[in-house]
Amino acid sequence: MDLQAIKTFLTLADLKRLSLCAEQLCLTKSAVSARIKQLEEQLNQQLFRRSNEGMDLTPAGRQFYQHAMALQQRWQRAKRELVPREGNARWLRLGAHPSLATDLLFKWGSALNRQDPGLILHLEADYSSEIVRQVSAGAVDIGLIFVADTTAGLVVEQAGEDRLLMVANGATALAQVSADNYLYIDWGWGYNAAHSERLPQLQSGRLSCGFAGPGLPWLLENGGAAYLPERQVSALLKSGTLTRVEDAPEFKRPIFVTYARDALDAALLQLALDTLAEVIDSAHPPH
């Protein structure tokens, strides 16, 4: 079966529009249509039908989607397995949302490196949807994400939970925090709605950030207040470098791990998951 046709099928299934699919794959719309037609003829099934929303999968298309993902994942893994390398070295690619990469992904990779110094490791940071796409495509083995995306047919499990605290460079009470000295960090849709409901006076401040990475350096350099994960600020709170705004509400955000169901090296997958659990456990101080 033509792997380029498989890639085209998966891309169109995700984007739902011929024009977007063609643009992403650097093809013409007629080339995309030809690849899909070739697949449909080989399978003797209609895979897509047009709707008001674009190109939707038929029941046969939805069934084939899982097989197509598995084929693409196996191809990517096969290419990695055939890369010449010495001894019996194993390969593991880990991905994480940028807000989880600086500490959790780094500590996770470091712990695995200590356990198996011969392990070939690749670390990747991107937004949750892109990490899910890469795991689906077989380009990443395990992803650490904020969104429980089950649409790609992957295993998705909760790996932990972030406790988001309002911390400040000086302020100890919510009355001392204003829209002028508050850094709004976009922690995603669920958080945004809860923040808007509980802290409407801080929803439209002059400072905002699309992800958490610059949040801590900003507070240390410029002062002010922001919501940051407890795992990231606990040592700074203990040392007095930052203070907790005690009467500000807390928010919680689950952390998910995602991976393909049919890992080629089940023992390595389990080692990585066990190590991740230990890293997340140690990153969250006891209350």
Domains and CATH numbers, the chain: 3-81 (1.10.10.10), 89-287 (3.40.190.290)
User: Is the pLDDT assigned to residue 220 strictly greater than 60?
Assistant: yes
Cα end-to-end distance, the chain, whole Å: 55
Averaged pLDDT for residues 191-201: 91
What does pTM read for this prediction? Answer: 0.70
Dump pLDDT digits (tens) for 221-254. 999 999 999 999 999 999 999 999 999 999 999 9
Q: How many helices, marked H, and strands, marked E, lie in the chain?
A: 11, 11
- 119 near 247, Cβ under 8 Å? no
